[in-house]
Each structure stands twice: as C-alpha cells, then as structure tokens.
C-alpha cells in the first residue's frame, strides 16, 4: 500500500519579519510582543512556514509552546540594551543602513563562528583556502553547497545563524563539487562526506543531483558514506512525499544506495511533536524505503526540550519509526546562547533520567556532547573522588585523533555551560589538550596534522 495516498499536498509559504502580519495566529498576541519579535529578527534570522504554523505550534500555549520557542525570536534572546536600541530604531523608522549597522555591531558580539570553525576547520589545497568545506576530524569532511545555505524555517538557537544574516565574509559555501572530489582523492583518510548548511534538502533535486552524482560516478578516495544533515522531515516533510520533485529526490536516494554508498540522513529532530504528524511519518517511511538510514540528533535547549520526559518520548518515537537516536548535543557558545543555555550538570541529569526510561534500542544515543574547539567532548558522568565531585569527560572525536576515547576530569561546577568554563581536576592548571590547541591556533598546524594522519592511513592501507 502507498504510505502517503491519503496525504493532501501543501504549497510552501514562507513567513518572516517582512510578512509577519500575515500570521493570523499572532492576532491574540500583544502588539508590544510582536514589535519585540521584529526587533530581534533584525539581528538574528527569523523564518517560519505554513506547516510549522498550522500543524506544529500549539497556539493555545503561547509563548511557552516549545515549537513557538524553536522558531519565533523571543525578546530575551537579546541583551536588554540591544533590544531597546533595535526597538527604538524601528519605532522611529530609522534608515535601513542605520538598522543594518546596529544589527551588525550586535551580531559581531554574539560569537558568530564558535569552536575554531573559521581559523582551524577550513582546509586548503596548495595553500589556497577551500571555501565551503570544513575538515575537523580525519574521517569526515563537511561540504556546504551554495544553494543549500538556507532552511525551511530557522531554529532560534541555530549555531549556524551567521550563515543566514548576510554576513558574507562569514559564509561557508561552495558550488564547485570538483574541488571536493579532488580533495577526497587526495585525502584517503576521509570516509564520510556530510552535506550541510543551512539545509541541503532545501535545494531542488536537480541541484542536489549536481552535487551528489559526481561522487557516485567518481567514487573518490575511500568515500563510503554520504551524510545529509537536514531538518526537512520536521520543517517541511512534504519535500519527500508530495512536492513536485519528491519522487525524483527519492530516486536520487535510491541511486546513492544502489551505487554502494551508505546514505545517512542526519535528522535534526528537536521535539517529539515533530514526529507526530501523518506527513512526517510518511516522509520518514519514504526515506527509509530507499535504504537510507536515519539518525536523529539535537541540542538540548532551555524552553524547548529541557525535560527528561521529552527526550525519552522522542527517542522512543524515533525507534518506533525506524530511526536511530544518535546525539544529544549541548548548545554551542554562539548567538543567543544565554537565553537557551543549560548547565552541564542539568543536561547530564536530563540525559541520564531519560536514558533510564527507555529500552536498549534507544540507547544508541550519545550525550550530552559538546562540539568544542578540541573535539566532541562527552559528559560521561559525575564522579566522587576523595569526597569531591568531578566531571568525567571523554573525547568521542578529537582534533588530534589520538585523543579519541580518552577520559579526563574537570572540577564539578554547577554553573558551567561549556567546556571552556571548566577547570581541570586534581590541581592541574591546564587540560592536556590546551597546549596543542594553542599551538594549532598560533601556527595553524592543523593542516600538517591532517597530512600526517593521511600519510599514516596510506602506509596502513598499503601494508594491509
């Protein structure tokens, strides 16, 4: 039976601060609150669509509704003075240039590219920077296709928010797939390419094919897995089911799998409600029928999903729908982080409580994990040693591969929300990786390190 035969197609309608007045559901909200939403959206990206508005947000629970918090800018996301400043500029009808320059000043104070993305992750070829790519861990390269640097709705906490606010200098994007193919041929340590953004599945299928098919034809280097990072199953599931090129997209997925590659759909799934609609279920089913694997990941975010019940319910639903719980992340130190942040202690409590409520099949999930400058650092536990509490931390990815799976300790701190707020345990002055990261930053030695591991892999392959 066709799993989507009863689904009625929907036409995508984009809504932002420019046409916010078209959102009838906002009529019951005070004009002052709407003016503040507009003021924040001059600084941080705001975009939503008719599916999110009509089928995901519970308008009887505004402003607390988690999907409303997920997609609509909230006044507290800006510092009070910054909010007043934007509010006043808009109220007095200030020229666009004045609004833009005030917004830019505020944006630059919001740490637009955290965790060394600009200075440490961007690879080079013959000393030319390869724009639109990141290579932080040996086995995985990120590629940012130019036309995919947007989303069907913007998450208010998005750590890639800088991509969406016109800060061109800070934009990762490339439309040259040949550069990626060449890079993969030369970097045989790479097994996975992650197409990311933005959201690559906002691209039409013809455009997406332009990026994917050269990889299928060339099979460069040791590429084995094509990952696509996306929130489309949550924000616009019609993309996979009833949109005019949905069938073509599904055929492209099938072709990837038939070509011998793993296709991993890295589904950014924030809240269990995103999995409840018939169209979302139909979308996940169609994706899985192609042979693709769906892995689910999300940050834990105050006001949106900071509750163990929510996570347990979400992981259970994911497994029921055939998707694999993969990561609970800690929100990165960027953008309106102060509004969304959760102490590491609380994140660990929520993770543990949720983990205890679910069966083994849900426990494929890892977390809470910080994608920090030195690597992905897991809060693995809280240990009591000599009557003192310590965070037990573990690298699950490392800028230096030798750090992977290494455990280290940090002093217990109830307020800390990110790795760089932690102090090493047992009287150490620095964490063991600090010196290396400092050196990498100062001398940009990261490329040499990658070459070293590429060479080792080469030797290993030849000897095997």
- Residues lying near ligand SF4 in the complex (CB under 6 A): 151, 154-155, 158, 160, 197-199, 231, 268
Q: How far is the CB of 182 from ligand SF4 (least distance, A)?
A: 27
Which residues, in sequence order, are bridge partners of residue 360?
none
The upper half-sphere exposure of residue 110, i.e. CA atoms within 13 Å in the direction of its Cβ, equals 27
Residue number with CB closer to ligand SF4 (189 or 199): 199
Residue number with CB closer to ligand SF4 (13 or 84): 13
The upper half-sphere exposure of residue 345, i.e. CA atoms within 13 Å in the direction of its Cβ, equals 12
Q: How far is the CB of 232 from ligand SF4 (least distance, A)?
A: 8
Q: How far is the CB of 47 from ligand SF4 (least distance, A)?
A: 8
DSSP 226: E
Residue number with CB closer to ligand SF4 (197 or 336): 197
Residue number with CB closer to ligand SF4 (155 or 293): 155
Helices (H), 342-411: 344-356
Please tell me the distance from the alpha carbon of residue 260 to that of residue 268, in angstroms, as a whole number: 25
Q: How far is the CB of 456 from ligand SF4 (least distance, A)?
A: 34
- Per the structure block, which two tokens stand in for 65? 């509704």
The upper half-sphere exposure of residue 68, i.e. CA atoms within 13 Å in the direction of its Cβ, equals 17
Residue number with CB closer to ligand SF4 (231 or 286): 231
Q: How far is the CB of 336 from ligand SF4 (least distance, A)?
A: 13
Q: How far is the CB of 268 from ligand SF4 (least distance, A)?
A: 5
Is-contact 130 122, C-beta < 8 A? Answer: yes
Residue number with CB closer to ligand SF4 (197 or 398): 197
Closest Cα to residue 296, out of 380, 234, 357? 234
Is-contact 215 227, C-beta < 8 A? Answer: no
Other beta carbons less than 10 A from residue 1's beta carbon:
4
Please tell me the distance from the alpha carbon of residue 453 to that of residue 441, in angstroms, as a whole number: 19
Residue number with CB closer to ligand SF4 (252 or 266): 266
Going 359 to 362 to 364 to 367, the CA torsion angle's sign is negative
Residue number with CB closer to ligand SF4 (198 or 272): 198
Q: How far is the CB of 78 from ligand SF4 (least distance, A)?
A: 18
Is-contact 297 268, C-beta < 8 A? Answer: yes
Q: How far is the CB of 231 from ligand SF4 (least distance, A)?
A: 4
Cα 126 to chain centroid, rounded: 30
Residue number with CB closer to ligand SF4 (172 or 391): 172
Closest Cα to residue 400, out of 136, 34, 44? 136
**Residue whose tokens read 């230096």:** 400
Is-contact 263 226, C-beta < 8 A? Answer: yes
Residue number with CB closer to ligand SF4 (141 or 358): 141
Is-contact 417 437, C-beta < 8 A? Answer: no
What φ, ψ does residue 228 adopt, rounded to 5°? -125, 115
Q: How far is the CB of 392 from ligand SF4 (least distance, A)?
A: 29
Q: How far is the CB of 174 from ligand SF4 (least distance, A)?
A: 17
């Amino acid at each position: 039976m066709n799993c989507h035969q009863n689904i009625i197609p929907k036409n995508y309608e984009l809504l932002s601060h420019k046409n916010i007045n078209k959102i009838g559901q906002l009529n019951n909200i005070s004009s002052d609150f709407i003016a503040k939403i507009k003021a924040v959206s001059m600084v941080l990206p705001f975009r939503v669509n008719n599916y999110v508005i009509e089928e995901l947000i519970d308008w009887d629970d505004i402003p607390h509704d988690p999907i409303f918090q997920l997609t609509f800018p909230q006044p507290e996301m800006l510092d009070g003075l910054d909010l007043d400043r934007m509010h006043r500029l808009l109220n007095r009808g200030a020229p666009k240039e004045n609004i833009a320059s005030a917004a830019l000043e505020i944006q630059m104070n919001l740490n637009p590219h955290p965790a060394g993305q600009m200075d440490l992750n961007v690879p080079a070829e013959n000393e030319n920077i390869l724009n639109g790519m990141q290579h932080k861990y040996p086995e995985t390269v990120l590629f940012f296709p130019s036309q995919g640097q947007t989303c069907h709705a913007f998450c208010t906490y998005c750590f890639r928010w800088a991509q969406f606010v016109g800060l061109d200098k800070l934009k990762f994007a490339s439309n040259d797939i040949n550069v990626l193919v060449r890079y993969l041929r030369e970097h045989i340590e790479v097994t996975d390419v992650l197409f990311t953004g933005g959201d690559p599945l906002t691209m039409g299928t013809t455009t997406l094919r332009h990026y994917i098919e050269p990889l299928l034809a060339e099979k460069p280097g040791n590429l084995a897995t094509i990952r696509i990072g996306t929130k489309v199953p949550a924000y616009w599931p019609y993309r996979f089911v009833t949109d005019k090129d949905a069938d073509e997209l599904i055929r492209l997925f099938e072709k990837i799998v038939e070509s011998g590659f793993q296709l991993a759909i890295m589904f950014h799934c924030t809240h269990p409600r995103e999995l409840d609609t018939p169209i979302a279920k139909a979308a996940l089913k169609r994706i899985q029928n192609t042979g693709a694997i769906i892995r689910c990941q999300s940050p834990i975010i105050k006001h949106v999903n900071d509750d163990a019940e929510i996570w347990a319910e979400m992981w259970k639903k994911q497994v029921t729908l055939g998707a694999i719980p993969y990561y609970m992340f800690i929100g990165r130190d960027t953008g309106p982080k102060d509004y969304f942040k959760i102490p590491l202690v609380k994140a660990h409590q929520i993770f543990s409580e949720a983990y205890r409520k679910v069966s083994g099949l849900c426990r494929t999930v890892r977390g809470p994990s910080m994608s920090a400058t030195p690597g992905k650092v897991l809060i693995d536990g809280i240990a009591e040693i000599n009557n003192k509490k310590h965070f037990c931390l573990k690298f699950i990815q490392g800028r230096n591969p030798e750090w992977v799976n290494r455990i280290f300790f940090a002093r217990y701190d109830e307020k800390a929300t990110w790795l760089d707020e932690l102090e090493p345990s047992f009287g150490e002055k620095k964490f063991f990786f600090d010196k290396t990261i400092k050196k990498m930053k100062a001398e940009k030695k990261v490329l040499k390190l990658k070459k070293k591991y590429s060479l080792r892999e080469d030797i290993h392959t030849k000897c095997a």
